[in-house]
Structure 1
């Protein structure tokens, strides 16, 4: 992999310990008048980013480790770690990271003096963990070892399963916190590995002990806890229960009914100093959990992996609206046959998924008052998910988009997307863990004016990013953001945010695609 380094003397200092980058953040503040007029004030803020170069020895504990996603990502990482290849009818395959932005995407760092644009791997800008070095563990309501659970999932080629079996057979999930009130009743048949605790607080204490043991056994510096288990029903967020950290802890202690298992995992993770990622659609990240995470200085990330139909939708709708074309009606139909689909066959669990998939249009619609004037309604939008066992993990997504175009015209786009659900979700798990670990090592401080480059700030003045790590929205269907800040669902905007923050960590300006060097002849030799 090529080395990428910002030239010395440009506000960036590389030491063995850290990369310290001075960064001018140019933004705006806007005033909206009652008559609709808008006044825009440009603002420049001077920041210093400090990125620790030493990657932490990191483990990830998966909730739902024995499911399709958990076994697929574990098997893939073992294939990389042990350099396992396998034969298929089209030839010999090597392990890859296709679908992972950190491992398989590139980003522009600028132009050469000959006006050639240079692209480098995303992971080349700052030190990122090698996914094959992650230590994997976790919990599952099914006690089946990970090798047999991989076979049960029926996701990977049989020859690859056979090649990996011995690497996985001694991996066993820990007993899970389980409450049938929050998942479909059809899940009870595989729930043979349940935590034998008397109440919810005792479950939290057991989960905390599990995390501590995992950290100590594997000599880990960092542990990230990630939910990839079945979708829970939505919880009713109750004042006095979910609204503050203290209320939440008290509610768990008194065994409140509306405390879901996912909240127990998140509470245990946070209290053990671990960031928590919610890869499913349920509303785990209540105000009390976010406050608790802020107290303990860890991140929370959510909600719901954005892997297939919703990723296409958030990119496609953004594309058409940027072109001034008006979405009028979107019908989305899915069928799948894995255990996720089996669980979603229950109405309450489907409702959780419907909410996260349905909200993907909201901010894009509200951003264009020409297409959608105040008081008008957005596009008609329906979502259907059906369970068909025969198709297994090979999910089918059928979408019909209806648009209004120029002078009363209409346009219809129909998509049929066949995608292996877990093979799209597993790379997202990798990216979420890799980027969360990176952000643990990034701190930032604000400094004054032009002396920012020379000023040596005390380390106590540096702070981490906001507790709700909205930077990772690109990877999630219903991105959670800090209270009082806008939700962004447009796929391109989400992706650019990640890339431009990575550029900032090494003192590079955002990639704004102006490329004035190419459009103004007198700039062509500047910087040569």
Structure 2
């Protein structure tokens, strides 16, 4: 069926490195496929590209080789101690396909990305560009965002994630945004995706606290329990925590988190999400939620929960799932937003359900369509 290229934006980051090393481990039979949605029995026979058909490349501003990054993650307890050595050849092969990220913006950046994608695509069936880079601040609206004809002369108004989406579509590649950044979420870029016949999906991977919210909020709604307030505190280490220490970047993340509650409860509720950077946590994160609700006859009650997890280990298998699913979308000629991938995201594209159970059913149906 041919090879599917996976071009990772932020290719030397923790999530990308874990995904590349994990794919190599799974191909070699060195690990179980725990956490991989597309390997569940519900997706058997869906004609998805196999992990052996995925070829990794990408951009990054950092220069640390993938093998070294894998060793660092192993020392931090994210990867098994023996894994970096066992998959060193696969990591070196991916390293040879990495390129420096553009340092300029606008048309110069687009031309560099298109050139790198064109080179990468040689011998591949399709390419999926997958953004796992740091979160950007929100993109202020601009008249050029409204139509492709206007945008063509104003590429300088696009943030990096949107420039990548533009370049991906121009290069004939699908695009997935695993971050809460702008990505392809502009009318002009939607127009370009449809015109070039490329699929896109996103945004902001749903891996921890918001995953729980997408299950618990429908529970309250379906039981007729009145949620009065829902507050959360997130403690993050690592690069993600450092990025989200910037209030502008954190506002993008918080907005996507809050939408899951509003959409599932049918209205806004009191309470906010706070994100605190704790460097000592490294690649781990802790989320604490406090839910105040009332039941029959107005009886007040609370739910408190704590979620602790390794961000890279939660996100990496979903990155592989999305690469396989978007590769299938490319092969099938799907163009424009793929709403059925909403299962993976806090703020999904298109019109689809927002509770996890319905999103899973929609994804399973799409995969077998």
TM-score (norm 2): 0.94
Q: Which moved more, 1:166-175 or 1:297-306?
A: 166-175
Q: Output the CA distance in 2 between the equivalents of 1:345 and 1:222.
A: 37
Whether contact under 8 Å (1:81, 1:133) holds in the other structure is no
Shift of 1:263: 1.5
Q: 1:357 aligns with which of 242, 245, 257?
A: 257
Instruction: Report the equivalent of 2:193.
Output: 293
Deviation at 1:133, TM superposition (A): 2.6
> What is the distance in 1 between the residues matched to 2:16 and 2:100?
15
CA shift for structure 1 position 333: 0.8
User: Deviation of residue 472 (structure 1)?
Assistant: 0.2
Matched, 1:205 2:128: no
Matched, 1:234 2:157: no
Matches within 5 A, 1:113-124: 121-124=41-44
Question: Structure 1 residues 501 and 276 mapped into 2: Cα distance closer, same or farther (>3 Å)?
Answer: closer
CA distance in 2, matches of 1:439, 1:382: 36
Tell me the equivalent position of 2:150. Answer: 247
Aligned with residue 491 of structure 1, among 337, 342, 356: 356
Higher-RCO chain (CA-CA 8 Å, sequence separation at least 6): 2
1:480 is matched with which residue? 349
Are the aligned partners of 2:193 and 2:335 in contact in 1 as well (CA < 8 Å)?
A: no
Separation of aligned partners in 1, 2:252 and 2:286: 20
Q: Which residue of 2 is the match for residue 165 of structure 1?
A: 88
Distance 1:222 1:97 in 2: 24
Q: Render the CA deviation track for 1:157-215: whole Å, top value 9, x for unaligned.
A: 222233333432451531112xxxxxxxxxxxxxxxxx4x5x52121111111011111
Q: What's the secondary structure of 2:87's corresponding residue?
A: helix
**Deviation of the 1:411 alpha carbon:** 2.1
Does the 8 Å CA contact 2:8/2:132 hold for their aligned counterparts? yes
Q: Does the CA-based 8 Å contact 1:148-1:169 persist in structure 2?
A: no
Unpaired runs of 5+ in structure 2? none
Conserved in 1, the CA contact under 8 Å of 2:14 and 2:312?
A: yes
Residues 1:77 and 2:23 aligned together: yes
Larger Rg: 1
RMSD in angstroms over aligned alpha carbons? 1.7
Counterpart pick for 2:55 among 135, 140, 147: 135
CA–CA separation in structure 2 for the residues paired with 1:56 and 1:248: 34
Q: What's 1:176 paired with?
A: 101
Aligned residues: 363
Counterpart pick for 1:399 among 282, 289, 304: 289
Cα-to-partner distance string for 1:468-514 (whole Å, 9 max, x where unaligned): 11110000011111xxxx453211111111123345x3xxxxxxxxx
207-216 vs 156-165, greater mean Cα deviation: 156-165
Q: Distance in 1 between matches of 2:2 and 2:307?
A: 38
**What SS does the corresponding residue of 1:214 show, helix, strand or coil?**
helix
Residue from 297, 308, 332 that aligns with 1:418: 308
State the match for 1:333 in structure 2: 233
Q: How far 1:122 sits from its partner (Å)?
A: 2.5
Contact between 2:284 and 2:310, CA under 8 Å: does it hold in 1?
A: yes
Report the secondary structure of 1:380's partner residue. coil
Report if the CA contact (8 A) 1:237-1:243 is conserved. no
**Cα deviations across residues 338-385 of structure 1 (Å, max 9, x unaligned)?**
10111110111111111111111222232xxxxxxxxxx632131011
Post-superposition offset of 1:465:
4.8
CA–CA separation in structure 1 for the residues paired with 2:59 and 2:349: 25
Q: Which has the higher strand share?
A: 1
Question: Alpha-carbon deviations, 1:121-165, whole Å to 9, x = none?
Answer: 123232111123310010000011111122334321222233333
Residue correspondence of structure 1 range 267-346 to structure 2 within 5 A: 267-284=166-183, 285-346=185-246
Q: Which has the higher helix share?
A: 2
CA distance in 1 between counterparts of 2:325 and 2:154 reads 32
Question: Which of 8, 14, 24 is matched with 1:68 structurally?
Answer: 14
